[in-house]
Amino acid sequence: MEVPMKLSMPLVYAGNPRETADQVAGLEKAGLDLIWVAEPYGFDAPTLMGYLAAKTETVQIGAGILNVYSRTPGALLQTAAGLDNVSGGRAVIGLGASGPQVIEGFHGMPYDRPLTRTREVIDVLRMGLRHEKLDYQGRTFSVPLPEGQGLGLGKPLKLLNRPERPQVPLWVAALGDKNVAMTAEVADGWLPFLYYPEKAQQVWGEPLARGAAKRSADLAPLEICAGGMVAIGEGPETKALLDFMRPMYALYVGGMGARDKNFYNQLACEYGFEKEAKEIQDLYLSGKKKEAEALVPLEWLEAGNLVGPESYVKERIAAFRESGVTNLSVTPASDDPAGTIAAIKEWVS
């Protein structure tokens, strides 16, 4: 018997997140299990997550993602515990290193030791959620400050409030081998991006296995959340909706990061799209965004999204499940998002 997949979606908004958030209650009734709230360099995620907690009753509310640089581990602990309290134990905390453009450009923090920092943040969060005093000496930070730094008055403290739960799910957004292995070792869940189910094993199979071999028996099996746009319908007009995804793929493969440091361009190469990856990047960085978008492989768009007749969408769900995905993330492209969620919920159950 197949284990039911959970169903999640990213909160997508243009301008005013409050208006979009007010629609989540309807999606919750349709069967949505988890809503992800992003935080690149727009509004902060926790404020909106707290608003969602008050507007909903059962849906899990996930940060997708909070970077591990702009908040101290103590501040991240306060956020995780606070969100879990106001949501009645429905918080999910997605963590990640983001990228140097955002961390150094928007937050003014040096982008150093991203893997070590992520691992150590997870250590401190788990310590604090168990309501233990924060007493941690790591490679990227020490809590309290060690002797000889600051005024020397720091002492280990624990949260004033007792956390709602002693464990809040901690997910990590990761693409590179070492980061994925670390995620498989210590995190509760993994958030890959621009996911191609049939090629996931060849790209990430080895690091996932390497991390799983070191995974503590105290942790449940790693959850994996991936998916894409959903549009159910016959005919070429439905397939044409895939073109709406081209700008995002081109942005990440072509323009996210420097020419020699773009995680998403490297991912495209690992999927076997080396030629297209180079051409997309060359065009995008020279300002020819439309030409770059046109070169995004249709094969990748079709595999990474769920767009077509009902039978085809069910095939894509099966492919995501077969690749190890436990939580299908969908973005409905329809006039009735709740109806789309209800249909997909039935198919993944």
With CA atoms as reference, report the closest residue to 261 among 176, 140, 159: 176
The answer as to whether 1 is a domain residue is no
Which residues form the domain of 25? 6-232+309-348
Same structural domain for residues 169 and 144? Answer: yes
Q: DSSP code of 131?
A: T
CB atoms within 10 A of CB 67: 26
Q: DSSP code of 175?
A: -
Same structural domain for residues 336 and 188? Answer: yes
End-of-domain residue from the set 288, 304, 320: 304
Q: Which of 101-105, 106-110, 214-218, 327-331 is least confident?
A: 101-105
pLDDT of residue 79: 98
What six digits make up the tokens of 55?
Answer: 């507007």
Q: DSSP code of 87?
A: T
For the segment 215-246, what is each residue's pLDDT rounded down to a tens digit? 999 999 999 999 999 999 999 999 999 999 99
Same structural domain for residues 282 and 206? Answer: no
Cβ-contact 306, 230 below 8 angstroms:
yes
pTM score of the predicted model: 0.97
Same structural domain for residues 267 and 192? Answer: no
Same structural domain for residues 77 and 205? Answer: yes
Same structural domain for residues 210 and 78? Answer: yes
pLDDT of residue 310: 98
Same structural domain for residues 298 and 174? Answer: no
Same structural domain for residues 137 and 244? Answer: no
What is the distance between the alpha carbons of residues 91 and 49, in angstroms, rounded to a whole number?
9
What is the distance between the alpha carbons of residues 187 and 272, in angstroms, rounded to a whole number?
28
3-state DSSP assignment of residue 64: strand
Same structural domain for residues 131 and 266? Answer: no
Q: What is the maximal distance between C-alpha atoms in the chain?
A: 70
Cβ-contact 266, 174 below 8 angstroms:
no
For the segment 157-184, what is each residue's pLDDT rounded down to a tens digit? 999 999 999 999 999 999 999 999 999 9
What is the distance between the alpha carbons of residues 142 and 76, in angstroms, rounded to a whole number?
15
Same structural domain for residues 202 and 272? Answer: no
CB atoms within 10 A of CB 265: 24
How many independent structural domains does the chain possess? 2
What six digits make up the tokens of 349?
Answer: 């159950």
pLDDT of residue 156: 97
Same structural domain for residues 129 and 172? Answer: yes
